[in-house]
Amino acid sequence: MYIEPVNKSVHRIYISQEINIFVAQKFIRSLVSKYGKHTVYTDAVP
């Protein structure tokens, strides 16, 4: 949500989960291309 400074009107932006996932995948891909692949260990929490 943001407020337009000129008209003082409130706008709402909806970003779908698919777009968020796409952005995250693109970010991770850029990290892999920059730094290479590394092993990641997790605590296996669902």
Residue 44 domain flag? no
Number of domains the chain is built from: 1
Q: What pLDDT is recorded for position 3?
A: 64
Residue with tokens 């968020």: 20
Range of the domain at 7: 2-35
Q: Note whether 13 and 2 are within 8 A (CB).
A: yes
Give per-residue pLDDT as tens, 22-35: 888 898 889 889 88
Tokens coding 5: 């400074």
The secondary structure element, H or E, covering residue 39 is none
Dump strand ranges (E) for 1-46.
2-3, 10-11
Which pLDDT score is estimated for 43? 81
Residue with tokens 């692949």: 37
Report yes or no on 24 lying in a domain: yes
Give the integer Cα–Cα distance in Å for 43 and 40.
10
8, part of any domain: yes
Residue 45 lies in a domain: no
With 80 as the cut, is the pLDDT of residue 19 above it?
no
